């Protein structure tokens, strides 16, 4: 895709930078919800994969209802016998901060499952976004171990999968995790093991990582899988499922780690893309090679402060590399006059170290005495960016990276009261003289009663007379904040309608008490 796309940019960041999620999978036997941590015998990764499956398993291909829509977050669904255990609750505690206006709760469930595989020795699973969150529980429909093989076959058929695909899905999922003693005391008896304090019966000898041991151990008869070699035949569902095609599928997995990995990548992608009928998923989200992020424009006097970073995928640190920002302005000037060397910021890593990416910040690299934030002449402004990595130009195949400088926050925004007792404030928005917006609004993020991310739009009144700014190119629209502290300290984005097109502008990440006092 082409930058900027607010939804794909956000999905791309969650999927590939994995902020806030990586830590739960480092190392992959991390378990965050027991004081014994990894020694409990459980893992976040296994919880996340099971959560995605149980959310999806309500799908009914006949009428298009159910599927991966975040409905497993509802207590009513978690209370069903088919969803025994606290793994779902744990999952939402862990990934709760991942959803936002562009990443639904269901997308967060899907991406968590994807990362459990990719970060823990498994394949990269193609990830799409755009799932729509349910507002109520789905009909029941998750298979249980005491059910018959026929019932499992028809249950997976209802979910949209053949018998062979059922074998694959169960083997891929059960490459992680275990049956818990707390949930199934008859299947997972109590054990006395300081490295498995919750007495979990693991599906294979490597329960925290992806590999084909689930299949090799099954084929060689050494398996410890409690749903294969459990004492009670009734609950040996993996045994019935794995053997249901004469072991053809399991043998192919045992014979080839590559076949197992690629089958799992394919089946898990289908699983997370099993969504209610009518849901329109995005394209597969791949990492952008060059990506501006956290772009933030602020009018300060007669200058535009341009803050942000640019991320280069597959790049490690190199002190001899020179990265420059080249930009076009409203005067038609371009890189010949408008360019600055950027400061190296940091290298990030994700997917268990498989991916590395370097950030350069928009603070110009002028040595310790120079300005730390890029300040552009506000009249000239900025319309488009390109980057030069040494002599190579990065401009999205000639398009450049467009920047909207028509509407932005102004540094004259201020608080009322005292810095320690803020009682209100005013948000000033700088509007470029030729912008002609029909509407400007502030966007405030929240959650509805079912936990779904919401955006509240708050209209900024059109000024009755023109209020000048510090720059001749901009005038000011102001919004007086309500006096409750939730409103005062909320973070706001600007949105605007210009020429019939409604779109977000940059965010306002400063807390109001960090500004000047209103005079």
Q: Given the rule CB under 6 A, which residues bind ligand HEM?
A: 42, 46-47, 49-50, 53, 84-85, 87, 143-145, 152, 169-170, 172-174, 176-180, 183-184, 237, 241
Shortest approach of ligand HEM to residue 165 CB, angstroms?
10
Shortest approach of ligand HEM to residue 251 CB, angstroms?
19
Rounded CA-CA distance 425/415 in Å is 4
Shortest approach of ligand HEM to residue 234 CB, angstroms?
12
Shortest approach of ligand HEM to residue 439 CB, angstroms?
46
| Cβ proximity to ligand HEM, 40 vs 475, nearer residue | 40
Query: Which residue's Cβ has the minimum distance to ligand HEM?
Result: 173
Strand arrangement, sheet containing 437-447: 453-460, 437-447, 492-498, 501-508
Most distant CA atoms of the chain, gap in Å:
83
* Helix, strand or coil, per DSSP, at residue 359: strand
Q: Considering Cα of 186, then 190, then 193, then 197, what sign does the dihedral take?
A: positive
| Cβ proximity to ligand HEM, 274 vs 411, nearer residue | 274
Shortest approach of ligand HEM to residue 105 CB, angstroms?
19
- The CA–CA distances, whole Å, from 230 to 41, 159, 235 equal 19, 27, 7
| Cβ proximity to ligand HEM, 55 vs 107, nearer residue | 55
Shortest approach of ligand HEM to residue 355 CB, angstroms?
24
SS (H, E, C) 2-29: CCCCHHHHHHHHHHHHCCCCHHHHCCCC
Nearest CA to 43 out of 250, 204, 212 is that of 204
| Cβ proximity to ligand HEM, 176 vs 253, nearer residue | 176
| Cβ proximity to ligand HEM, 198 vs 506, nearer residue | 198
For residue 243, whether the previous peptide bond is cis, meaning omega lies within 30 degrees of 0, is: no
| Cβ proximity to ligand HEM, 125 vs 494, nearer residue | 125
Structure tokens belonging to residue 15: 């999927």
> Strand pairing partners for 290?
312
Q: List the alpha helices (DSSP H) in 311-400.
A: none
> Strand pairing partners for 408?
430
Shortest approach of ligand HEM to residue 159 CB, angstroms?
9
| Cβ proximity to ligand HEM, 13 vs 206, nearer residue | 206
Q: Considering Cα of 140, then 143, then 147, then 148, what sign does the dihedral take?
A: positive
């Amino acid at each position: 895709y082409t930058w900027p796309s607010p939804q794909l940019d956000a999905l791309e960041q969650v999927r590939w930078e994995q902020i806030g999620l990586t830590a739960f999978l480092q190392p992959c036997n991390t378990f965050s919800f027991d004081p014994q941590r990894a020694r409990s015998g459980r893992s976040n990764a296994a919880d996340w994969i099971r959560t995605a499956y149980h959310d999806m398993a309500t799908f009914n291909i006949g009428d298009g209802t159910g599927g991966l829509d975040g409905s497993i977050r509802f207590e009513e669904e978690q209370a069903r016998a088919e969803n025994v255990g606290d793994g779902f609750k744990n999952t939402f505690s862990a990934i709760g901060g991942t959803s936002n206006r562009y990443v639904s709760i269901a997308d967060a469930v899907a991406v968590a499952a994807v990362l459990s595989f990719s970060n823990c020795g498994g394949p990269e699973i193609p990830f799409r976004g755009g799932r729509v969150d349910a507002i109520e529980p789905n009909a029941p429909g998750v298979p249980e171990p005491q059910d018959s093989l026929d019932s499992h076959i028809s249950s997976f058929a209802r979910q949209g999968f053949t018998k062979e695909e059922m074998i694959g899905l169960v083997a891929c999922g059960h490459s992680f995790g275990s049956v818990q003693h707390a949930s199934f005391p008859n299947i997972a008896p109590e054990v006395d093991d300081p490295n498995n304090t919750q007495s979990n019966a693991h599906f294979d000898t490597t329960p925290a990582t992806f590999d084909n041991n689930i299949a090799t151990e099954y084929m060689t008869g050494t398996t410890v899988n409690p749903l294969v070699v459990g004492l009670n035949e009734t609950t040996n569902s993996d045994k019935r499922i794995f053997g249901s095609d004469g072991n053809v599928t399991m043998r192919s997995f045992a014979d080839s780690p590559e076949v197992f990995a690629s089958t799992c990548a394919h089946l898990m992608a289908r699983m997370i893309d099993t969504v209610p009928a009518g849901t329109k998923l995005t394209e597969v989200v791949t990492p952008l090679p060059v990506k501006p992020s956290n772009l933030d424009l602020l009018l300060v006097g007669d200058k535009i402060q341009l803050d942000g970073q640019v991320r280069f995928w597959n790049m490690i640190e190199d002190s001899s590399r020179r990265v420059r920002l080249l930009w076009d302005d409203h005067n038609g000037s371009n890189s010949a006059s408008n360019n600055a060397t950027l400061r190296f910021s940091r290298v990030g890593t994700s997917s268990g170290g498989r991916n590395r990416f370097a950030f350069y910040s928009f603070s110009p690299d002028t040595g310790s005495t120079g300005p730390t934030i890029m300040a552009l002449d506000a009249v000239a402004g900025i319309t488009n960016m390109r980057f030069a990595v040494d002599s190579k130009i990065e401009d999205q195949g000639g398009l450049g990276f467009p920047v909207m400088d028509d509407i932005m926050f102004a540094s004259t925004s201020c608080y009322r009261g005292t810095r320690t007792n803020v009682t209100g404030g005013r948000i000033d928005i700088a509007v470029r003289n030729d912008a002609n917006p029909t509407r400007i609004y502030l966007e405030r993020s929240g959650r509805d009663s079912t936990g779904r991310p919401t955006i509240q739009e708050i209209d900024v009144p059109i000024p009755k007379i023109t209020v000048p700014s510090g720059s001749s190119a901009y005038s000011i629209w102001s919004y007086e904040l309500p006096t409750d502290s939730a409103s005062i300290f909320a973070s706001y984005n600007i949105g605007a309608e210009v020429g019939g097109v409604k779109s977000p502008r940059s965010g306002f990440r400063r807390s109001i008490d960090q500004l000047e006092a209103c005079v």
